Structure 1
Amino acid sequence: MSEGRPYGFEVLPLARIEARLVAYDWAWARDNAERVAENWERRRAARPALFDGPVLLACACAVTDGVCRVDFFETTYSRFIAYRDGGSPDGHVTNAFAAIVPWSADGAVLMGEMGPQTANAGQIYFPCGTPDRDDIRGDTVDLAGSAGRELREETGLAVPEEAGESWVLLRGDGQLAFLRPVRLDETAEQLGDRMERHRLQDADPELARVVIARGAQDIDGTRMPPFARAYLAAAFAGVPAVTG
């Protein structure tokens, strides 16, 4: 892990995000339709619950003076998964998503292990998901709303009205991870208990279990994706603006 670029990711504090929806002709997806179909058939055979709905991917991103301007376009989940499974070969398109990072009152981060029926089964990260049509507001994309919705759906937690608006962008590995650290008033154990009760009330929960990270020793190099490891490494190393 290199100092200043944990796990190969840039860590960029943001004052504001301006996300918009644009029209985009994705040549890779058009030229690889057969590969997309074959990959989706393989994925569905392993996890029949997967749904090929509309999702939003990024086709441009620039950060200037703390302001991030990012362009999204609509495509299908099967195209996105084939692209990601193939190593994101088109450098013009990026998997971009937003997440709330729940911090407890005693300085821990709450995460979840994805359930066996999900596309990322077994991976541990913050409550998040690929933006979709529910996040479109006219010609803008509501990343804050997307992150808040995923937090509620997966954990039952909500962002306090008085929470700060700070964001941090982790850019690398073919991803744009827009993370909003939020401090909550309860301890890690209390929050974990609330998340577990919410999980057990769901007939088909996305999370298999709740995970609490209290320090760098809790970074799981096997099951945490690189963006999550990069954030935790920076946060527990005391990088300014990463913990909110």
Structure 2
Amino acid sequence: MRRELAITRVARVEAVSRPFAWRWAEENRAAIMENWRRRVAATPKMFNGRVLLVSDIAVTPDLCRNTYFETDYANLVAWIDMGHPDPGVANGFAMAALRGSDGAYICGVMSHDTANGGRVYFPAGTPDRSDLRDGGRVDLATSLTRELREETGLTEADYTLSDEWIVVERWPAVALMRHATLHIPAAEGAERIRAAIAAQEHPELSDVRIVRRAEDIDPKTMPLFLQSFFRWSFSTSGPQR
């Protein structure tokens, strides 16, 4: 399942959640809880709910098929903090590649009271139980628009959402993206989002960044999968649509 880097345009995404015994989490329970206590001491607003991680993925131009499993958020955080010691799972999340009508991208800057404070990427969140539907289906399309609305205040009336998905596999992250193109230029969209952030009681974002070209990529704050997406998007091999 593991690929160092692959970016694929796909027509559809299907995802289901199935029972799965995550041996790494079971065998490292004490270290996981100690890591969680350390994290909560630094960021008290963190909550140990249930999230969904990927146990299997298959990608073709016609379809990306993901199999998820439920686990504690503390397990996910420890797995990340410890350097992703189990290569058999991935953090697979839906993400709106938000851009203005002028083609420039808009990323959020995570608030410092979140688990990823200071990191810069598109609005997104690891799927959780609220994304589960009948038969164990994982509703990634709704997860994408919900996270975008919660973090930026933008609704589906504010942008056009591409039918096509772009699957960015940059292990151990799998970003399932769809372009969300605003009806206004990026600079105007950024100001609108900043106003929404200022009005929120507990904003997940502290600011936004506009990315117009490859030179705007910031390796210090942007995760590797996003750096790869931008390089692909700004190259001739990954034309914007």
Percentage identity across paired residues of the two chains: 39
Supply the distance in 1 between the matched residues of 2:102 and 2:31 (Cα, whole angstroms): 48
After superposition, the C-alpha distances for 1:95-134 in whole angstroms (9 at most, x for unaligned) are 1111001111111001111001011111000000100011
Task: Kindly state the Cα deviation for residue 165 of structure 1 after the two structures are TM-superposed.
Answer: 1.0
Q: Is the deviation greater in 160-169 or in 137-146?
A: 160-169
Equivalent position of 1:156 in the other structure: 153
Match of 1:109 among 95, 105, 109: 105
One-letter amino acid matched to 2:75:
R
Task: Kindly state the Cα deviation for residue 163 of structure 1 after the two structures are TM-superposed.
Answer: 3.0
Q: Which runs of 5+ in 2 are unaligned?
A: none
Matches within 5 A, 1:33-44: 33-44=29-40
Match of 1:68 among 64, 82, 89: 64
Equivalent position of 1:10 in the other structure: 6
Given the two structures, how large is their TM-score scaled by the length of structure 1? 0.93
| Total equivalences in the alignment | 237
Relative distance call for 1:192 and 1:122 in structure 2 (3 A) is same
Relative distance call for 1:82 and 1:162 in structure 2 (3 A) is closer
Matches within 5 A, 1:18-33: 18-33=14-29
Supply the distance in 1 between the matched residues of 2:156 and 2:57 (Cα, whole angstroms): 26
Task: Kindly state the Cα deviation for residue 90 of structure 1 after the two structures are TM-superposed.
Answer: 1.4
Equivalent position of 2:46 in the other structure: 50
Matches within 5 A, 1:72-221: 72-138=68-134, 139-160=136-157, 163-221=161-219
Supply the distance in 2 between the matched residues of 1:162 and 1:96 (Cα, whole angstroms): 23
Task: Kindly state the Cα deviation for residue 65 of structure 1 after the two structures are TM-superposed.
Answer: 4.1
One-letter amino acid matched to 2:27:
D
Supply the distance in 2 between the matched residues of 1:64 and 1:99 (Cα, whole angstroms): 19
Supply the distance in 2 between the matched residues of 1:113 and 1:65 (Cα, whole angstroms): 32
Task: Kindly state the Cα deviation for residue 203 of structure 1 after the two structures are TM-superposed.
Answer: 1.2
After superposition, the C-alpha distances for 1:217-236 in whole angstroms (9 at most, x for unaligned) are 11001101111111111111
List structure 1 runs of 4+ shifted beyond 2 angstroms. Answer: 158-164, 238-241
Supply the distance in 2 between the matched residues of 1:232 and 1:159 (Cα, whole angstroms): 24
Corresponding residue SS for 1:141: coil
Q: Is the deviation greater in 64-73 or in 215-224?
A: 64-73
Supply the distance in 2 between the matched residues of 1:40 and 1:163 (Cα, whole angstroms): 37
Corresponding residue SS for 2:74: helix
Supply the distance in 1 between the matched residues of 2:118 and 2:130 (Cα, whole angstroms): 26
Contact 2:90 2:174 in 1 (8 A): yes
Task: Kindly state the Cα deviation for residue 162 of structure 1 after the two structures are TM-superposed.
Answer: 5.4
Supply the distance in 2 between the matched residues of 1:115 and 1:107 (Cα, whole angstroms): 26
Supply the distance in 2 between the matched residues of 1:182 and 1:88 (Cα, whole angstroms): 30
One-letter amino acid matched to 1:150:
E
Supply the distance in 2 between the matched residues of 1:123 and 1:147 (Cα, whole angstroms): 19
